[in-house]
Amino acid sequence: MIRALIYLLPLALTIYAFIDCLNTPEEETKHLPKVAWVFIILLFWIVGPIVWLAAGKVRAAPGAGRTASGWRRDPRQRWVAPDDNPDFLKSLKDGNEKDGTALEDWEADLRRREEELKRRDGEGGASEDPKPPKD
């Protein structure tokens, strides 16, 4: 059992560090390019992952990046739900206002066309019946 842990723990640490390195954007790696970190993690089986976790990535302190109001400045740092994102809510409000004005324009155009049809029907007389009488 202990012998298995001697091999499994470093293997798990290496896999975790490897996946973490691959998922880290290039601009967040420190000291070396990302490709170099991948080789270090894979070649130096126990030391490489520990060095990556200790010094290879820019790590923010918990709560870092928050403003006084509690909203994050950099949207890449953490995912924010749409109903908590003020920019998304503002875009919905702007879209609703734009749709509302378009609807009002369409309704005004429809009223204008209905008035034109009524005037045409009034000028043409009652002989122009759109529906034939049913027997």
> What are 97-129's pLDDT values in tens digits?
888 889 999 999 999 999 999 999 888 655 555
| Separation of alpha carbons 82 and 93, rounded Å | 13
* Pick from 8-22, 56-70, 72-86, 109-123: least confident: 56-70
Among 11, 68, 58, CA closest to 30 = 58
The domain limits of the chain are 1-58, 80-124
Helix axes 34-43, 47-55, angle to 10 degrees: 150
Q: Which residue has the tokens 């009034």?
A: 122
The continuous run of DSSP H or E covering 16 comes out as helix 2-23
Beta partners for residue 57, in sequence order: 29
Whether the full predicted model's pTM is greater than 0.85, yes or no, is: no
| Separation of alpha carbons 52 and 32, rounded Å | 10
Provide φ and ψ at 45, rounded to 5°: -55, -45
| Separation of alpha carbons 82 and 65, rounded Å | 19
Q: Is 72 helix (H, G, I), strand (E, B) or coil?
A: strand
Q: Is 61 helix (H, G, I), strand (E, B) or coil?
A: coil
